[in-house]
Structure 1
Amino acid sequence: MNVSGELIAFFGLALVAILGGVLLITLTKVVHMVIALVFTFLSIAGIYLLLSAEFVAIVQILIYSGAITIVMLFGIMLTKHRENDEPSKGGWRKFTLLLAIAGFAVAVYLGIYDLDIPVQPTALHEENTKQIGIELFSKYVIPFEVMSVLLLVALVGAIVLAKKDNEEGDRS
């Protein structure tokens, strides 16, 4: 096996992404979960850079690591939540979680190990942003517009829910 800088970078970024995902589901404080999610998003953006998908990496950083994380933090700050420290469920819960993660990792490894993907010559480094734009605004224009309307509806819904909570808080 040939060890290169790209391979080392990939394994480092993959390890950070996996650890961020595991921390996301095991941590109990919401702010800590958001930080783990940011680390996961940033490491995935790094993997996109290794794959010569610079546009997708920048979009990953801008949209996911930036905007969605900030929206999640605003959601946390605007909602009323009580931090009741739940008693620990014991070691069995953590052991079951670790066993499930290990089982998933083995299933993914077995699924990928003998996977035979036919090699097709493609021009990866040539105008990939232009190619994405052409595909997005020709073949996928309807799903693109539907997603923009869906995001607008979610934003309006979040504002309405936050306003209702605020009005109920003022009455009491």
Structure 2
Amino acid sequence: MSGEYAAFFILAFFALSGAVFMLSFTKVIHMIFAVAFSFLSIAGLYVLLSAEFVAVVQILVYTGAVTILAVFGIMMTRHDAEEEGKGRRGQKFFSFLVVLAFLLVMAWGIQGVNWGERVTQFDKNNVLEIGQTLFNQYMIPFELVSVLLLVALIGAVIMAKEDKS
């Protein structure tokens, strides 16, 4: 087993662990940190795929911005600090069995796939390729999405603005 495979399995384990912890925690702030942990692990997987730009965007946008936005949302809203009631034991056991069955079916399906030859040559200028593709082939959709996001931002500000009357 090479170091690349070991790194993949470690990062995949961390990504799945973060997702499972997010689902099993009861406090929302703990859930957010578990999701951030999972996002960082996914960024590591992007690095293994030689997609460094996507990994940096993953860290900046998801791990940074989305996680901080969720923390601010929690801090600015009223909520009870008490934990929710624990789920029933039978429900947790049934959920565990469903997840285990899903994992077994996925493992069985993956074992039967013929993956073909492994591609080892990647383009070294992947950021340049992304930029050229984005601004040459997809310029109009890119600008339309930016206008749509601006309209959504203005609409959110108008909706959040308090009505004085």
TM range (shorter): 0.7 to 0.9
- Out of 9, 12, 20, the position equivalent to 2:10 is 12
Match for residue 55 of structure 1? 53
Deviations 1:32-58 (A, max 9, x none): 011001110000000111111111111
Letter in 2 for 1:139: Q
Match for residue 148 of structure 1? 146
Which blocks of at least 5 consecutive residues in structure 2 are unaligned? none
Question: What's the offset of the Cα at 1:153?
Answer: 4.5
Matched pairs, number: 165
Structure 2 distance, partners of 1:68, 1:47, is: 19
Pairing 1:27–2:12 present: no
Match for residue 67 of structure 1? 65
Match for residue 46 of structure 1? 44
Letter in 2 for 1:10: F
| Native 8 Å contact 2:26 2:84 kept in 1 | no
Letter in 1 for 2:96: L
SS of corresponding position for 2:50: coil
- Out of 119, 123, 126, the position equivalent to 1:128 is 126
| Native 8 Å contact 1:79 1:162 kept in 2 | no
TM-score when scaled to structure 1? 0.80
Deviations 1:5-64 (A, max 9, x none): 111111110000000001111111111011001110000000111111111111111111
Match for residue 89 of structure 1? 87
Match for residue 100 of structure 1? 98
- Out of 113, 116, 124, the position equivalent to 2:114 is 116
Letter in 1 for 2:61: I
- The sequence identity of aligned pairs, in percent, is 48
Question: After alignment, is 116-125 or 99-108 more displaced?
Answer: 116-125
| Native 8 Å contact 2:27 2:83 kept in 1 | no
Question: What's the offset of the Cα at 1:93?
Answer: 1.9
TM-score when scaled to structure 2? 0.83
Match for residue 137 of structure 1? 135
SS of corresponding position for 2:69: helix
Which blocks of at least 5 consecutive residues in structure 1 are unaligned? none
